[in-house]
Structure 1
Amino acid sequence: MNDVLPVPAHRELPDDVRERMRDRVMRGRRDRSSRRGPLLVAAAVVLLAAGGVVVARSVGGEHPPAAGWTPVPADSVTTEATTDEDLARCGVDWRPDYTVVMRGRRIVVSPVNEFCELTYASVRTSAKKDPVVVGDGVVLWQTPGHLTIGKAPAGSTSVKFSDTEGTVVAGALDAVVALLPDGRFVVRSGREVDALEFGSGGWAPRTMKVVKGDLPGDWSVVRWVFPSGVGDPGVPGNRMAACLDRWMVDVPEPSDPAGWGVVVGVEGEVGVQVIRSGGRMAFCEFRGGELVGVRVGRDGALGVSEGAVDVMYRSGGVGGDVVLAGSLRAGVGKVVFTEGGV
């Protein structure tokens, strides 16, 4: 069964390109004959052609959110006075001490170790759980986004950490750790922190082993707070806000949300939304209506060449939906997607 994506008639697919693509596809399938399964291309195939966009299905009505979130350096960790806007977004009734400012995040801290993490489109507040004493230090809070806040041993002048093996977003920010003036520490990591080491000129390094099983499993209350003012993640504009939220937290290149627009929207529960600002691009994959992955880069700077197509994003696998996004080479006039089989 073939799904044909038409483009203007004057752009014909050259015979030599067609044969090279057919040979590459068939050779790849023979190599994977032991893993046969259907290749399902739902509202999930996106091809970004030079000078235009070719899509299987697209939706309109997306709009860029308002500006107002200032990028900061990727390795910066500073503190400042908590603003009224911080408290209003957090929706908490406790008195703040200060706000920690990091790339894509503002963390409001109370004197009694209550916390609220603000990102561009989400709010995470600490659930009422007891701090966890670990070795010589204390873990005060850990978020689903791998942000860890704790209390260092008295007299500490430095802190280092290690994290566990696991999946890290491709091209994501380097991890950062900071010791705050009041003795608290903050760690931002792409994976779960499993150990910390504190140093001082007056004593040997002290360590704390962070065991996941010792930490509360539901330490955060998470909610989306979209710039649109509408809480439904599926409404126009909100999925782009979720994409930008992840970009601003995970991607080294700073970005102001102003100026971004949707190239291809997502209709339904599964698909890839493509957003662009100038030459910058983000592929945001949604499954079950949830954002599950983001890949970023500049036009034409991602992926691996596959014949006439630069594959910029691929996910899924044999037996499941496969999501593709890419840019066409010049001269390509039509692309045919063939479901796999025997």
Structure 2
Amino acid sequence: MRAVTVTPGTPNSLRCVPDWPEPAADEGDVLVEAIAVGICGTDHEIIAGQFGQAPPGEDSLVLGHEALGRVLEDPSGTLRPGDLVAGIVRHPDPVPCPNCAVGEWDMCRNGRFTEHGIKALPGFARDRWRLEPRFAVGLPPKLADVGMLLEPTTVVAKAWDHIERIGHRAEWQPQTVLVTGAGPIGLLAALLGVQRGLSVHVLDLAKSGPKPELVRALGATYHSVPVEDLDFEPDVVVECTGAPVVVLAVMCKAAPNGIVCLAGVSGGRTIDFDAGALNRTLVLENNVVFGSVNANRRHWDLAAAALDRADHSWLTALITRRVPVAEYASAYTAQENDIKVVLDFTA
């Protein structure tokens, strides 16, 4: 069968292997036929050799963590043949740490977790894959062409879950949300904000292309100005760019008692800033800034429910390119106006 692989740590080792071995039985009882995988910045960083870890005893890592497939067999009876399914990416560490022991593996304390297509577990960019029933998330038939959006939606489902938990430290009646970055994560964060009945604003550099229209189609407001020029103070910020200047700006822009969730990862750029002013803002206004990454089973289920409620045509518009496996190199080459690119295993 076909599999898209890299040699971790070796830049530009991306290849499609035509005769990859069938998934081993010890990967799990549920056998799945791949429909598609979504491609994200993590994949590009692994291809560039920045990180990634092959399974023990192997040199190659199968890519793909934004999965969508159809069940071929499940002896456990959890799913039925033909069901749509996505695979949970992170698995708990074997020790386990206190969080992994209770199913909160997104909050792993010792870093010994594994992740499909990223760290020590083969990914889903192959014709067939297996997983354990507890890591299989069923999806309704209506999501057959967009279900690979589930994994990025879990990232923001977790972010919103934690925002709301923090918010209830006091009487909390948020009204205004600022999302910085209109990539897939930012747009899905905006979707979940709109679903909560909040006034959502999205800020991005793009002045044309699909991003402004997708934001407006949600009923949200689009901005392409510096954070400092916004004429409101958001109760909630979901920061999805990782750009250091934006990160610092939104910390200072949040309203009193505001909550800032950092969902983007910054690069190595160093900037000068007034740490004292930031400290005064956070302390005197009771603001909270926290980081969020990955998701556990609860968030996967919340994300599946959010996609089920979303406008299907809007979700479809997030996918700007669908590329057959035969043209895999094109799928992993960024193009102008890309939002979500999908590698299609059915074409």
Give the TM-score normalised by structure 2: 0.26
Q: Which entry has the higher C-alpha Rg, 1 or 2?
A: 1
Relative to total residues, which structure has the larger helix share, 1 or 2? 2
Could you say which structure has the greater relative contact order, defined with CA pairs below 8 angstroms and 6 or more residues apart? 1
Give the TM-score normalised by structure 1: 0.27
